[in-house]
Every structure is written in C-alpha cells, then in structure tokens.
Amino acid sequence: MAGTNRNFDGIEEGPAVILVEPQLGENIGMVARAMANFGLIDLRLVAPRDGWPNQKAKATASGAGYVLERVRVFETLAEALSDLTYVVATTARQRDGFKRVLGPVEASANMRARTDAGQSVGILFGRERFGLDNAEISLADDIVTFPVNPAYASLNIAQAVLLMAYEFLKTRDGQAETLPFAGPDFAPAPRAELVGMFDQLETALDVRGYFRPPERKPAQVDNLRAVLSRPGFSTEEIRLLRGVISSLDRTIRAAGRRRLPAKRPPAMAELRDPSVLFFDSGIGGLSVVKEARIILPGLRHIYVADDAAFPYGAWDEAELLDRMTGLFETLIEAFRPGLIVIACNTASTLAIGHLRRAFPDQVFVGTVPAIKPAAERTRSGLVSVLATPGTVRRQYTRDLIRQYAGQCHVRLVGSEHLAELAEDYMRTGFVDEEAVRREIAPCFVEENGRRTDIVVLACTHYPFLANRMRKTAPWPVDWIDTSEAIARRTLTLVEQMQFGPRDFSLPDIAVFTSDDPRTEVMRLASGFGLSTVPFPD
C-alpha cells in the first residue's frame, strides 16, 4: 500500500526493538520497514547469525535505511537490555513461570505510560525458528502474546514487530486519567542493575550449595529470575537487596574460611572507614561510580571531580603531580576514605606510584588502558588506543604495550577534544557528531587486507560517547570500556579488607574543586545518586 509523503515530519519515538539471534538479513530489513511505518527507530540485534551490516537487510528495508543506520549490535541479551527499565517478551507459546501475560493493546498502553514518564522500554523478539528460550524470557518484566488462530499461531518476525509497533502508535494521542492524588515517584531500575543482582545472587547461592541437584540449576535460575523481575524494583530497592545478599554471602564465605584463616596484608588489617573515594579530572569517572554503586552497595561513595583543572591532558607533568598531591592531602584529611580509586587514565599513568609513596597508609586503585584484553581479543592484530595526549605520552602506556601486545600493531591516538565533547554531552545531552567522527577517525587503520577491530577507550569520559562513536565509525569494531573492570578490581580489594559498619545517614556525595558547579552538573551527579557538597577547607 503506497502513501509515503516526504513533506510530513516523521515520527521517531517509542520502545527499542530487540531481535535475538536473527538469522536472515531479509527479515531484519522487513522489521526495519515495519518500525519505520509506525515511527520506531531503536533497533538492536543480539548476535545476528550472518553478522552486521547485511546487504540483504538493506534490500528489503524499502526506504527504512535510516533505521538500519542506527542499528546497535550486542554480543549478549543482557548487554542489549542494560539501559532499559521495562521489557516485554513476545511469544506464541504458553510458558510456565511467574510473568504476567498481556495482549498487545494492554502492553502498548503500559509502554506508552512509561515512555511518557521518561523511562526506557523495549520489546523482545525471538529467533525465526523457535523464538525465545526460558532464560531469555526470564529477563523480561511481562509476556506479550497475540490473539491469533490457534491452529496457525506462528507469526513472521516482521509481522510481530508490525503488530506491536501499530498498537504502540495508536496510543500516541491517548490521554491519561486525572486522579485526585498520586503516589510517590517510582523509577524502575535499568536492566543492567537487575541483571547484576541476578548474577550476584546466583554466585552466592552456588557457594551455599543451593542448586541441588546440579542438573536442575538452569530451571531454578530461570524461576528465580522470573520472580525477581516481576515487581519492577527501583534502583534503591535493588541496592538494598544487594546489600542483604552481600552481607549473607560474606558471612557464609567467612564461615568457610575459619578453618583455614587467610593471611591479610598488613596494610589491610585495620578496620577501615566504609567508604570509597573516586577521583577524576571531570565527570567522566561517573562511569566507574555507576558500576561500583551496583556491586558495592554496602559502602559510601565519594566522588571528587577536579573540574577547576579540567582537562588534565594538556598539563605539565610536574605541575600536575604537585596539584594532585596537595588535593589528596586535603581529601584524605577530610574524608579518611577506606579505599581510593583514581578513575582517570591520565592521572593514574602519571601519579599512581607517586601517590602510593606519598600516602603509604592508603590503598589506591588505578585506571590504566585495557591493552591486555584488547591484545587477547583482536583477530586482525590491529588495535587502537584512544586516549588523552597525556596518556599517550606516558612511558607507562608504552610499557603496557610492550608487555602485553608485542604481537599486535597498536596505534596510540591522542584526542585533544573528545573528553571535552563528552563533558558537554553529559551536561547538555547534545554533541556534534561530526566532531566525534574527526576525533576517532585516526583509530581506524586498513593494512594488507586487515582492519582495526578493537578500540580501547583509555579515558573514563569516553564511554559516555560510545553510541555516537559506533554511529560515526567507518566500520564496526569492539569498543573496550574499562569501567566495569575497575569496579570489579575494587570489589576484589574490598573483599580482602575489613571495613567498619556504614552509617546510612551519610549520603553518597559529589565534590567539585571549582566550588561552583553548574546546575546541570549537580543534576547529573544527582542522577548517579550523589548529593553535591562543597569542597573541604
């Protein structure tokens, strides 16, 4: 049915469409066309069988190429759902479990209410041959099924997408009921936080020997996930539950260790303040805080941004060392943190050794370029490290390359402006994509039929621009972000240390050396669960 009119403004909104292991490029193209028909633009592919991009998809998209241009590809379903707060899974088969089953009309109304409230939602579609398995269904909040002929219930994946997209578009002009009063604001947690809690609980139960007999474990895990994903927990509720799990897990592990006491390093034997101080030159280190607050809910988080000196990349090394030493004298005296994380590659590669010598009673965690995992994962042997000019200049960075990536060709790319672009983007929500394209262009190398296939993001600011980098890159690559690895290294150290009990009346805080952070920066910090306080005298 023809009828496209280019004179009208297009509709671009709505839930993400997630296809799990799609097989045929033609089907992906038809899905994109169905999405474009009804104004959806966020298409995510999980491990497409024939890779991506796919020329056959372009052939069947029929004018919906702009949807395909924005496609994001993920290795796992958990990664594809990580930023979503509500997910429905489509299925034609009855499932045993604890999920609500909705029709497309009710599900679409539910998603519309959530998107209007600023939440991120998604619709999950399975493989062409057999749909979604129970483990994948367990990651969704609700199930959607269609009222079709029971003797012929199977829908083509593009048909299923079209039905959901149509029902969602129909809700566009609906009016919400006016009620005499309202309950408290309730923002469901991003899917990444829920999956993190699943993984933590599964690990703790494994240690306890909960899964018996072992062959029943997959079904038991699916049931647990189905139960825990049903309520739509908020971030605060997940943090509370994870604190409970951590407490129980530590007790169980400690009981097992009493028979053979582990010898702790002398510097870690005393009872420490239950807090972690994160330090960065700006607000990029919030990418590390985000991960740390998920896996370390029992500790207080103190974020310090030396925004008065941002960016660090252009500083003289001796002057920067003097500045950081003075700042840490003040910060350690004011907060007495149990652990310090230098959430800045430039500062770590320059100052981590100096700070450890200057403050021997403190435990420091550094941030270094993820060159070792990049060397292990590359297939082409061409790796680029995208960093600030300061990190590129450091001998420490070159030593890492020599130690871990001697068999690879590693290109060091010093970006003059990317950290500032990331800061602007985090504050305003806008970034010049052409400027991003110029900054990342030197990372992409073609040599003797090979192409760069790994780019290391060696600055904690850069992950906030990862989606823009994917969009403007000349070809797909793996972007290695070290934020989660830093948080997990911190967790490893925390498990070896002894902390006093946390006083939960003391909030997680953000401190800025400029003493006059802009309103949008304080609002951003608040979004990460941090209350802004003045820099200590």
pLDDT the model gives residue 230: 62
The pLDDT value recorded for residue 384 is 95
Helix (H) or strand (E) holding 446: strand 446-447
Residue of 323, 329, 287, 278 lying closest to 305 (CA atoms): 278
Confidence at residue 177, expressed as pLDDT on a 0 to 100 scale:
40
Contact between residue 142 and residue 88 where contact means Cβ atoms under 8 Å apart: yes
The answer on pLDDT for 370 being more than 90 is no
Supply the pLDDT for residue 7: 43
Question: Quick one: which of 301, 420, 268, 283 has its CA closest to 343?
Answer: 283
The phi and psi torsions of 499 (rounded to 5 degrees) equal -115, 150
* Cα–Cα distance, 17 to 161 (Å, whole number): 8
Predicted pLDDT at 122: 94
For residue 375, which phi and psi values (nearest 5 degrees)? -65, -35
Using one digit for the tens of pLDDT, what is the confidence trace for 404-416?
A: 998 899 999 999 8
Q: Which residues of 279-317 are buried (b: 16+ CB within 10 A; e: fewer)?
A: bbbbbbbbbbbbbbbbbbbbbbbbbbbbbebbbbbebee
Query: What percent of the residues of the chain are helix, what percent strand, and what percent coil, each to the nearest 5?
Result: 45, 15, 35
Which region holds residue 113: left if phi is over 0, alpha if psi is between -120 and 50, else beta? alpha
Residue 139 has pLDDT above 80, yes or no: yes
Tell whether the model's pLDDT for residue 6 goes beyond 60. Answer: no
Give residue 297's pLDDT band: very low, low, confident or very high (50, 70, 90): confident
Enclosing H/E stretch for 521: helix 519-527
pLDDT of residue 441: 96
Has residue 303 got a pLDDT over 80?
A: yes
User: What is the rounded CA–CA span in Å between residue 349 and residue 118?
Assistant: 39
**242 pLDDT exceeds 90?**
no
> CA-to-CA distance for 422 and 388, rounded, in angstroms?
12
Nearest Cα to 335, choosing from 360, 300, 285, 310? 300
Whether the predicted pLDDT of 474 surpasses 90? yes
Is the pLDDT at 461 greater than 60? The verdict is yes
3-class DSSP state of 312: helix
Whether the CB-CB separation of 14 and 165 falls below 8 Å is answered with yes
Residue 18 has a pLDDT of 96
Task: Please tell me the predicted confidence (pLDDT) of residue 411.
Answer: 95
Q: What's the confidence (pLDDT) of residue 443? A: 96
The stretch 433-440 carries a mean pLDDT of 94
Is the Cα torsion angle 500, 503, 507, 512 positive or negative in sign?
negative
How many CB atoms within 10 Å of residue 46? 22
**pLDDT above 60: residue 280:** yes
Active site amino acids: 344, 459
- Residue 153 binned pLDDT confidence (cut-offs 50, 70, 90): low
Band of residue 246 on the pLDDT scale cut at 50, 70, 90: low
Average pLDDT of 374-393?
90
pLDDT computed for residue 334 by the predictor: 93
Average pLDDT over residues 469-498: 86
* Tokens read off for 310: 């941002």
Tens-digit pLDDT profile for residues 182-234 = 445 556 677 777 777 777 777 777 766 677 676 777 777 777 777 677 666 66
Torsion of CA 422, 405, 398, 344, to 10 degrees: 30
Q: What's the pLDDT score for residue 363?
A: 93
Identify whether the C-beta of residue 160 lies closer than 8 Å to the C-beta of residue 125: yes
CA distance 236 to 238: 5
Percent of the chain with pLDDT over 70: 84
Rounded Cα–Cα distance for residues 131 and 137 (Å): 10
Q: Which two tokens stand for residue 469?
A: 């980098």
Cα–Cα separations (whole angstroms), residue 204 to 207, 236, 252: 5, 21, 9
- pLDDT above 60: residue 267: no
The whole-number average pLDDT for the span 457-469 is 87
Average pLDDT value for residue range 375-380: 91
Does pTM surpass 0.85?
Answer: no
pLDDT of residue 52 exceeding 80: yes
Looking at every residue in the chain, the average pLDDT score rounds to 82
> pLDDT value at position 226?
74
The pLDDT-based confidence of 339 (bands split at 50, 70, 90) is: very high
Give the closest residue to 95 by CA, choosing from 46, 129, 140: 140
Q: What is the pLDDT of residue 216?
A: 73
Q: In what order do the strands lie in the sheet with 364-365?
A: 364-365, 339-342, 275-280, 300-305, 509-512, 531-533
Higher-pLDDT residue of 105 and 311 is: 105
Q: Are 369 and 391 in contact (CB under 8 A)?
A: yes
pLDDT at 292: 85
- pLDDT, position 258: 40
